């Protein structure tokens, strides 16, 4: 499983054996969610379509900051698609929403940026 970079987002996809309704439970029942993604428990839900789509505001971690110390705002979307085999194709899109904040500034440190590591949107 690999995460790709697309525009301002990290996109991770995987195939699950379980059907979308079961995956939906693992995403929405707090006790189940806490077992694999405790960060998301209690975060603000922005969109929910049962068994299909769930979007919430990502609670930024301490290190999710730009050079001015402002929090990098981001949003996570889970897209569930049933497969012919009865499983689920899960797509996770984690997108920075406040990207304009991080480029209009001078970072304090001079970092060497590996351009090759990023895949620009076409």
Identify residues 14-53 at the interface with another protein (CB under 8 A): 14, 16-18, 22-23, 25-26, 32, 35-37
Decide if residue 69 touches another protein (CB under 8 A).
no
Decide if residue 67 touches another protein (CB under 8 A).
yes
Residue where the block lists tokens 């590996």: 114
List the 53-57 sheet strands across, edge first.
Answer: 3-6, 9-16, 88-96, 74-82, 53-57, 45-49
Contact with another protein (CB under 8 A) among 62, 84, 85, 110? 110
As measured in angstroms, the least distance from the Cβ of 42 to another protein is 17
Q: What is the rounded distance in angstroms from the CA atom of residue 65 to the CA atom of residue 62?
A: 7
């Amino acid at each position: 499983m690999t995460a790709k970079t697309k525009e301002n987002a990290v996109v991770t996809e995987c195939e699950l054996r379980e059907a979308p309704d079961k995956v939906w439970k693992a995403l929405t029942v707090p006790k189940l969610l806490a077992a694999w993604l405790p960060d998301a428990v209690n975060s603000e839900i922005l969109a929910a379509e049962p068994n299909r789509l769930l979007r919430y505001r990502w609670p930024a971690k301490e290190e999710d900051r730009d050079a001015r110390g402002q929090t990098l705002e981001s949003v996570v979307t889970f897209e569930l698609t049933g497969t012919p085999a009865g499983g689920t194709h899960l797509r996770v899109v984690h997108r920075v929403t406040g990207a304009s904040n991080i480029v209009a500034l001078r970072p304090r440190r001079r970092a060497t940026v590996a351009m090759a590591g990023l895949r620009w949107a076409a």
